[in-house]
Structure 1
Amino acid sequence: MGLAERRKTLGYSQEKLAGLLGVDRTTVGRWESGRIEPQPPQRRGLAIALEVSLQDLDALLTELRATGQQSSDHPSAGDPDEMIRREFLRILTVSGALTALPVDGAEALTDGVLRGMPADFERMNSHLWQVYQLARSKGSVYPVIRDQLTTLNEALAVSRGSSRLLLSAAADLFQMAGEVAFDGNRYTDAAASYSLAASVSKDAGAYDLWACALVRHAYVDMSEQRYRQAAQMLGAAERLAGRGDSDLSTRHWVASVQAEAYAGLGDLTACERALDQAEKVRDLTADSTNGGWLRFDGTRLAEERGARYVQLGRLDLAEATLKTALAQTALASGQSYRRRGAVLTSLAAIGAKRRDPDQVLAYGREAVSLARASASGYVARRLQALCDEFGPLSRDHRVAELGAEIATLSTP
């Protein structure tokens, strides 16, 4: 029996199943045809909706793969994101050849084509990061990012002397595209965007930008609990940041994310050492961030430290730290839904570890509301991981209802 047959057996239309899972009807159709697979955070909700175990769901997906149909890791030739990446790589190859040509030859090839101004791209990118940061739904920013990448491709195709500045602008945009994909739990697209950002940053000689691309790539590894691989990636980022601008906060952000990897490895000493290094960001000037691809200013360190203590099982240290962070992320202060949702989920996780259903419900319900309001796949993924902590609490009907709500959250 395939996915479609199981859905029909339960009397669901594609529209009904899509509504239960918070995805588009076409997504269900693509699952059933084998063109894409549900992401790991989506599988739990799909298994619940189809009334099968995760093992049975995996068997159904394996059967679809065996038919030879296309997987989501291999986009079709018409996939717009893949086309942008291919065109970008083609332009890098051509522009490299142009720089090797005599001036007259290069000008002949680019005659009549408008040249892009690097400063304009830098200003536009800075504006896009501000829009991204304020947007409740991060995916809403992506069409603008795509348009900007297309325009930048055209400029790179004809650039010569200013290519390094344009490459930096491109690396910046690919990091932003990766952030949108990561927030939507599209890990393959996120990793591809971060890898491209790192490669282009290298060509631009932009060490801080390069290090930040590696940090973001490490988050993909950690989202799949590959902490050792993340630690290796962050070690490389640390070395790159050491060659960058000492007035920027890059190396302190690297340390903050290293703390998460060390917590995942169960190393409290290394985790706290990294957090202490991250705290030194407070010694820098107000110009240590750019509000775009580098935004680490230490304001989130309380919630980061609290979340790390939860990872390590040090609930005594975690709760007080997280409550301080929660006050700092009050919605009245204009902080992001995603950030507050993450803190609430960590506090709910403490309740789950203590077998305290009231604490789980108090914080978990608010986090669910924020995940719905923001359509954040990141918060939804954190909440779905919380369900794994419920254990015996799942016998409490209120906690079971919360788990059912979490299972229907959208993880696009």
Structure 2
Amino acid sequence: MTRRRGLAGQRVARGYSQEEFATLMGVATSTVVRWESGRSAPRPYQRPKMARLLGLSRADLDKLLSPVKTVTVASGSTPVPASFSDPGDMRRRDLLGLLTTTSALLALPEVPAAAYPGRFSTTAPQAEEALADHLWRVYGLAGDKHTLYPAVRRQLGVLAEEMDHACGDTVRKRAATRVADLYQLAGELFFDARDNALSAHCYALAASAAKEARAYDLWACALTRHAYVELYAGRAPWAASLLSAAARVARRGDSALSTRHWVSAVQAEVHASLGDFDACARALDAAEEVRALNGPVHNGGWLRFDGSRLAEERGACYVALGRPDLAEDVLTSALTRALGPRRRAAVLVDLATLGAHRGDVDQVIHYAEEALAVAGQTRSGYVSAKLDGLGPRLAGLSADVRVPDLRRRIAALPHTT
């Protein structure tokens, strides 16, 4: 069954959160989630009350609750849910197929080049690197990250074909390196779209490919990005395990690069989420050592850490640790810098969270309004997730009429893309 988007939209339009609607209906919040996801339907005796709450006729409610229609993809084929004809679902299935194919090709034993003479990649390594670097630069500059997917998808398809013909250690390592690079970028796109499962698959494949290529910094970065998925999914202990592995791998990499310092910066966020102030402080200090490195400390692609984000990251850690006395000056200072939309929105939400901690509704509204504007401009799932995290902090401020409206606007943001 596909999501009943109309049902969820009508609930939001009437001003109810899922929790509030569940209370009015006399059911658990998880029941409302199942209704809206299409995994179950309300009982007949519950429908009249639901229709009244949603301001619908019984007939209109029945339409919103009706089963998903199926479509036939070819004569005699098995019917599939109509949701698979949606661009987002088709894109997801398409990438899962590519992931499976690429993983299988990566797992094949090495074929000596002499066994298949002439089956070398015809693409120059410099051109491959330049193209990957270009895609990463476009990703960094794009306001709406989703627009980059078609270009990344095309390159992943080309790469799968090249892997099928890769013979010899040199060519195979080069192909594995490209897999690790491009699938990290694909993972970033789906992480921003809040598709945690697909982004985790991409990062896991990237880590395996980098290991195959013995590209230690690339490998450590893939593990670190995977840790972010676990952290934002509320599984900080799993993130900690991945980062411990990333730190060990990074120590085998290029000491002139900032890889190990980025791992420390993310470890600080995990320690903060676990409430360990001392471990967080040690990790932040280790990350700050990036400033002692000389020369180019990152490549602008899969490794972009240069310490410029440490102020906002330190502030976010202090917010998570419940230390507004340490967080506000750091975050306010970070906000004066030239930040990209997603980074700026993250700082704005952290400052709104500080306002909620103090009970200062004016501060909450001021910063949350700005963050909502960024979410609308970029359609970023990352920004939506940050705003979602603000929601529980507003529970004690509902007496101010602006707060329920803010919660409804946050709930109305797209949760997946």
Q: Same fold (TM over 0.5)?
A: yes
Q: Which residue of 1 aligns with 2:353?
A: 349
Residue 55 (structure 2) pairs with residue 55 (structure 1):
no
Q: Whose RCO is larger (CA < 8 A, sep 6+)? A: 1
The aligned counterpart of 2:103 is: 89
**Structure 1 contact 164–203 (Cα < 8 Å) conserved:** yes
Alpha-carbon distance, 1:82 to partner? 1.2
Q: Cα deviations across residues 71-99 of structure 1 (Å, max 9, x unaligned)?
A: 99xx99992111111221233245x3423
Matching of residue 80 in structure 1 with residue 90 in structure 2: no
Q: What SS does structure 1 have at the residue aligned with 2:351?
A: helix
**In 2, Cα distance between the equivalents of 1:154 and 1:138?**
26
- 1:148, distance to aligned residue in structure 2 (A): 0.6
CA contact (8 A) 1:116 1:156 kept: no
- Asked if the contact 1:208–1:241 (Cα under 8 Å) also holds between the matched residues in 2, the reply is yes
In the alignment, structure 2 segments of 5+ residues that lack a partner are 42-66, 68-79
Question: 2:216 matched to which residue of 1?
Answer: 207
CA displacement at 1:228 relative to structure 2? 1.3
CA 1:78–1:142: 2 relative to 1, 3 Å:
closer
TM-score, structure 1 normalization: 0.82
Percent identity, aligned pairs only, is 42
Contact 1:20–1:49, Cα closer than 8 Å, also in 2: no
**In structure 2, how many angstroms separate the alpha carbons of the residues matched to 1:165 and 1:54?**
50
**Structure 2 residue corresponding to 1:124, chosen from 127, 131, 138:** 131
Query: How far apart are 1:269 and its partner, in Å?
Result: 0.5
Among 177, 186, 198, the alignment partner of 2:195 is: 186
For the pair shown, the structure with the greater C-alpha radius of gyration is 2
Verify the 8 A CA contact 2:106 2:176 in the aligned structure 1: no
| Greater alpha carbon shift after TM alignment, 139-148 vs 154-163 | 154-163
Distance 1:355 1:213, change over 3 A: same
User: What is the count of residue pairs matched by the alignment?
Assistant: 367
Which digits, 9 at most, give the CA deviation of each residue in 1:256-304, with x for residues without a partner?
0000010011110000010011001011124110000000000010000
Which ranges of structure 1 fall in alignment gaps of 5 or more residues? 22-43
**Paired AA for residue 343 in structure 2:** R
Contact 1:249 1:288 in 2 (8 A): yes
Give RMSD over aligned pairs.
3.1
Contact 1:116 1:155 in 2 (8 A): no
Partners of 1:198 and 1:211 within 8 A in 2: yes
The 3-state SS of whatever aligns with 2:300 is coil
Residue 229 (structure 1) aligned to one of 235, 238, 247: 238
Residues 352, 360 of structure 1: 8 Å contact kept: yes
1:240 corresponds to which residue?
249
Distance 2:37 2:355 in 1: 37
For 1:167 and 1:304, locate their aligned partners in 2 and report how far apart those are by CA, in whole Å: 32
Q: How much has 1:19 moved relative to structure 2?
A: 10
Q: Aligned partners of 1:303 and 1:63: how far apart in 2?
A: 39
Against the structure 1 CA distance between its residues 348 and 384, is the aligned structure 2 distance closer, same or farther, given a 3 Å change threshold? same
Distance, in Å, in 2 between the alignment partners of 1:171 and 1:210 is 8
Pair 1:19–1:181, CA change in 2 (3 A): farther
Contact 1:185 1:377 in 2 (8 A): yes
Question: 1:399 deviation in Å?
Answer: 1.4
2:255 is aligned with 1:280: no
Structure 1 counterpart SS, 2:39: helix
